[in-house]
Homo-oligomer: A and B are copies of this chain.
């Protein structure tokens, strides 16, 4: 017979993402709705080990739906990678009577969750909260839509000054291992090109692209560069281009951590709300070691194993479209 949890804990882990607060709110209120006790863990897995627990209720999560960041705070935990750390975490949960855990985070967080769940036969469900959008099992991760909109608001401003001075701007967006933010930002910004982990942009190709833009009388241009591309550091790219195009006025902007903050968009608030509910309901129907996601507007539960190891793929259609639109 299915053992139904009576006391659920929730934590946020890894890099924070806009919408995490909305997800926590949805978890808490769903738990209350279904008559379960609900406890918030501060500082991610560190708080699990340190016993940094606080019982929550429906009112604890008021006015946080539209706030960036995570009020439960987040942290990386080396100790949770050790058996001793996980033992301590388990003891704290057991002592408090908590029998299920919801982890809001990215692939690293789910890897830890999976090991812990297996080790202690503890019921765990994940909610994809990361601006990187690099998880299999959900069309969008929580925070991705906000991060790209933030990037675009910045690039729109850069466009103003690029246009006033007929400049070429290289703009670095987040994405060490994936180009989701880069590609979508590039299309939405009308960027001349995008350099990202998933493509093999060469210097020859870049030179050709910039030459073609000149011929087409596009005098102010944006090139979006993902942190983790294969071509090189954005300053190296800039220096190369300055050498090749000495008459061009080339500038670099690195958007950095501001992409992680800000009030979440409608998309992220609704997604976080759906997934927070789905996580609690998944626990109630016995799901374990899975991530709740939305694919094709349906709630989907994907095993941690699959969510982590199958790479989310970049829609090649977007790459094709970007080429057409920068003509």
Q: B315, A297: Cβ atoms under 8 Å?
A: yes
Interface of A is mostly: helix
Q: B159, A261: Cβ atoms under 8 Å?
A: yes
Q: B267, A74: Cβ atoms under 8 Å?
A: no
Is A26's CB within 8 Å of the partner chain B?
Answer: yes
Asked whether A258 and B66 contact (CB < 8 A) given A73-B164, A274-B317, the answer is no
Copies of this protein in the assembly total: 4
Q: In the complex, A265→B144 CA distance in Å?
A: 13
Q: B149, A266: Cβ atoms under 8 Å?
A: yes
Q: List chain B residues, Cβ under 8 A from A187.
A: 269-270, 273
Stretch from A150-158, A201-209, A225-233, A240-248 contacting the other chain: A150-158
Asked whether A258 and B154 contact (CB < 8 A) given A69-B160, A270-B187, the answer is yes
Residue total for A at the interface (Cβ-Cβ under 8 A): 83
Q: List chain B residues, Cβ under 8 A from A6.
A: none
Over the window 18-31 of chain A, the binary record of Cβ atoms lying under 8 Å from chain B Cβ atoms (1 yes, 0 no) is 10100001100110
Q: In the complex, A31→B214 CA distance in Å?
A: 21
Q: A152, B59: Cβ atoms under 8 Å?
A: no
Query: 19 additional contacts, CB 8 Å, given A188-B270, A296-B296?
Result: A12-B164, A29-B325, A29-B326, A33-B327, A63-B159, A68-B157, A70-B164, A73-B164, A75-B166, A152-B266, A154-B154, A156-B263, A160-B261, A184-B266, A185-B266, A252-B256, A254-B254, A270-B318, A277-B321
